[in-house]
Amino acid sequence: MGYNLTQKILLNHLVSGTLQPGQEIAIKIDQTLTQDATGTMAYLQFEAMGIPRVKTELSVSYVDHNTLQTGFENADDHRFLQSTAAKYGAYFSRAGNGICHQVHLERFGVPGKTLLGSDSHTPTAGGLGMLAIGVGGLDVAVAMGGGPFHMVMPRVVNVRLHGRLAPWATAKDVILEVLRRLTVKGGVGKILEYGGEGIKYLTVPERATITNMGAETGATTSIFPSDEVTRAFLRAQGREEVWVELGPDPDAAYDEVLDIDLSSLEPLVACPHSPDNVKPVREVGPLAVDQVVIGSCTNSSYLDLMKVAAILKGKVVHPRVSLVIAPGSRQVYAMLAQNGALADLVAAGARILECACGPCIGMGQAPPSGGVSVRTINRNFKGRSGTADARVYLASPETAAATALTGRLTDPRELGDPPEIALPERFHVDDRMILPPADNPDDVEIVRGPNIKPLPVAEPLPRSIQGRVLIKVGDNITTDHIMPAGAKVLPLRSNIPAMAEYVFAAVDPSFPRRAREAGGGIIVGGENYGQGSSREHAALVPMYLGVKAVLAKSFARIHRDNLINFGILPITFIEPADYDRLEQDDVLQIDQVHQALQDGADLEVKNVTRNFTIKARAQVTPRQVEIILAGGLLNYTRRG
Ligand code: SF4
List, for residues 515-554, the tens digit of each pLDDT value: 999 999 999 999 999 998 778 999 999 999 999 999 999 9
Residues 76 and 153 in one domain: yes
Is residue 30 in contact with ligand 1, taking CB distance under 6 Å? no
Q: End of a domain among 198, 231, 264?
A: 264
Q: What is the pLDDT of residues 85-98, one digit of tens each?
A: 999 999 999 999 99
Instruction: Report which of residues 485 and 475 the model is more confident about.
Output: 475
Give the residue whose CA is nearest to atom 1 of ligand 1. 357
Confidence of residue 455 (pLDDT cuts 50, 70, 90): confident
Q: Are residues 303 and 391 in the same domain?
A: yes
Domain identity same for 168 and 280: no
Give the span between the Cα atoms of 373 and 47, in whole angstroms.
41
Residue 150 known to be catalytic = no
Domain with 103 in it: what CATH number?
3.30.499.10
> Which residue of the set 76, 119, 173, 561 is catalytic?
119
Last residue of a domain, one of 242, 264, 286: 264
Over residues 565-620, the pLDDT tens digits come to 999 999 999 999 999 999 999 999 999 999 999 999 999 999 999 999 999 999 89
Give the pLDDT of residue 4.
98
Annotated catalytic residue, options 318, 379, 537, 560: 379
Whether 599 is catalytic: no
How confident is residue 250, by pLDDT bands cut at 50, 70 and 90? very high
Q: How far is the CA of 360 from the centre of ligand 1 (A)?
A: 6
Ligand 1 near 121 CB (within 6 A): yes
Question: Of 412, 428, 452, which residue sits at a domain end?
Answer: 412
**Interface pTM, i.e. ipTM:** 1.00
Contacts of 26 (CB under 8 A, 6+ apart): 14, 15, 16, 17, 148, 149, 150
| pLDDT score recorded for residue 454 | 86
Domain count, the chain: 3
The yes-or-no verdict on residue 272 having pLDDT over 80 is yes
Tell me: do 54 and 203 sit in the same domain. yes
- In this structure, the answer to whether residues 260 and 278 fall within a common structural domain is no
To test the pocket of ligand 1, the residue of 68, 93, 377, 384 to mutate (highest count of ligand atoms within 8 Å of its CB) is: 377
Give the pLDDT score at 105. Answer: 98
Residue 163 forms part of a structural domain: yes
pLDDT in tens, 605-634: 999 999 999 999 998 999 999 999 999 999
Report yes or no on 15 lying in a domain: yes
In a domain, residue 452? The reply is no
Q: What is the pLDDT of residues 226-248, one digit of tens each?
A: 999 999 999 999 999 999 999 99
pLDDT at 532: 84
The answer to whether residues 125 and 159 belong to one domain is yes
pLDDT band at 487, cuts 50/70/90? confident
Tell which atom from ligand 1 comes closest to the C-alpha of 361.
Answer: 7
Tell me the CA–centroid distance for residue 61 and ligand 1, in Å. Answer: 15
104 CB-contact burial (10 Å; exposed 0-12 / middle 13-18 / buried 19+) = buried
Q: Is residue 425 part of a domain?
A: no
Q: What are phi and psi of 294, to 5 degrees?
A: -115, 120
> Taking 90 as the threshold, does the pLDDT of residue 383 lie above it?
no
Distance 11 CA to ligand 1 centre (A): 30
Q: pLDDT-based confidence at 132, cuts 50/70/90?
A: very high
Q: Which residues have C-beta within 8 Å of that of residue 40, sequence separation ≥ 6?
A: 77, 80, 81, 452, 493, 494
Q: Are residues 242 and 282 in the same domain?
A: no
CATH of the domain at 537: 3.20.19.10
Is the pLDDT assigned to residue 370 strictly greater than 90? yes
If asked whether residues 255 and 343 sit together in one domain, one would say: no
CA of 558 to the centre of ligand 1 (A): 16
Nearest CA to ligand 1 atom 7: 361
Residue-wise pLDDT for 202-219, tens only, equals 999 999 999 999 999 999
Residue 433 resides in a domain: no
Domain that holds residue 318: 268-412
Query: Residue 295 CA: which ligand 1 atom is closest?
Result: 8
In this structure, the answer to whether residues 230 and 285 fall within a common structural domain is no
SS (H, E, C) 430-441: CCCCEECCCCCH
535 counts as catalytic: yes
Report the chain's mean pLDDT, rounded to a whole number. 96
Residue 315: inside a domain, yes or no?
yes
Does one domain contain both 331 and 475? Answer: no
Residue 123 forms part of a structural domain: yes
